[in-house]
Amino acid sequence: MSLETTARLLITCPDKPGIVAAVTGFLYSHNVNINTLDQHSSDPEGGNFFMRLEFQTPHLDISKPALEKAFGEVVAPRFDMHWRIHYAWERKKMAILVSRWDHCLLELLWRWSRGELHCDISMVISNHPDLREAVESFGVPFHHIPIIKENRHEADQAMLKLLDGQADFVVLARYMQILPKEFVAPYSRRIINIHHSFLPAFIGADPYRQAYERGVKIIGATAHYVTEELDAGPIIEQDVARVSHRYNIEALKDLGRDLERQVLARAVRCHVDDRIIVDGNKTVVF
């Protein structure tokens, strides 16, 4: 199953009988070999239907544009589908925004450099200069765009300009600035943030302090798509670790860093591999 011949079809539509038969029959008729099929119905009566197919195209009997055209004309309208085919060999461009903490950034760079993330990293942008050397040692361009109260708007515009055409999606790898609406809107469902708590607990600033003060026995980390509302977007992945009264805030942060790295890396991998379908404010992760 080479990435060079792997395509993924993502579908969302109202649930009704016959969808799987129609889609798989269509693909089979074009000599496509399905290697993974996942489907989910939020409710068989009046709910939404979600499907992800991963298939191989070496024996496809028509061109890819012709396949997409045929699917769009023959199958999709019958079921009122939102759909898209992603080709694994069209590597997504990822841009990473980061502030001073390097652990999430390095985890992504490291996994990427060893081939675990099948995407390109077009750039890293930071509001601090500290991580330039670490980033450039991976052969990735680094841009320092300082942010102060007075230049916030200009800084955001400068970032948007850098990203323009160079980012299929954006990862906030512990980026400690809040992105304005005009930044989020064009990248809707394409900005992934790591929040250092088990959302929806401890929204906002300094969640480890909040966790410490509440005296929880488990801490967590949450990767989610960014929406206009702070820390409220669709959750992609979460994980937790057990703590006790022995953990002061520094110890929570230490342990939490390991969670953040793992959770963000898994979420990014799911996004890169086209495993996520957003369903309102929730995600279906196949």
Hey, CA dihedral for 155, 157, 163, 169, is it positive or negative?
Answer: positive
The one catalytic residue among 15, 102, 168, 231: 231
If the CB atoms of residues 85 and 259 are measured against a copy of itself, the closer one turns out to be 259
Q: Which stretch binds a copy of itself (CB under 8 A): 73-81, 143-151, 152-160, 192-200?
A: 192-200
- What are the C-alpha distances in Å from 114 to residues 106, 107, 136, 138, 274? 12, 11, 16, 11, 20
Does the annotation mark 231 as catalytic? yes
Torsion sign (Cα): 29, 30, 31, 37: negative
CB of 39 to a copy of itself, least distance (A): 6
Contact pattern for a copy of itself over residues 55 through 74, marking x by CB under 8 A: -x------------------
Could you tell me which residues are beta bridge partners of residue 25?
Answer: none
> In 3D, which of 127, 121, 86 has the Cα closest to residue 106?
121
Backbone phi, then psi, for 94, in 5-degree steps? -105, 130
Measured from the CB atom, is 201 or 230 closer to a copy of itself?
201
Distance, CA of 33 to CA of 10 (rounded, Å): 16
The CB-of-151 to a copy of itself minimum distance in angstroms stands at 30
User: Which of 81-89, 147-155, 157-165, 242-250 is the region at the interface with a copy of itself (rule: CB under 8 A)?
Assistant: 242-250
274 sits near a copy of itself (criterion: CB under 8 A): no
Site membership for a copy of itself, residue 199 (CB under 8 A): yes
- Site for a copy of itself contains 114 (CB under 8 A): yes
Q: In residues, how long is the chain?
A: 286
Peptide bond connecting 186 to the previous residue in cis, omega within 30 degrees of 0: no
Calculate the dihedral angle through the C-alpha atoms of 263, 269, 274, 279, rounding to the nearest 10 degrees: 10
Catalytic residues: 231
Q: What is the contact surface with a copy of itself in residues (CB under 8 A)? A: 1, 17-18, 20-21, 24-25, 27-28, 31-44, 50, 56, 102-103, 106, 110, 114, 116, 137, 198-202, 214-218, 220, 234-240, 244-246, 248, 254, 258, 262, 279, 281-285
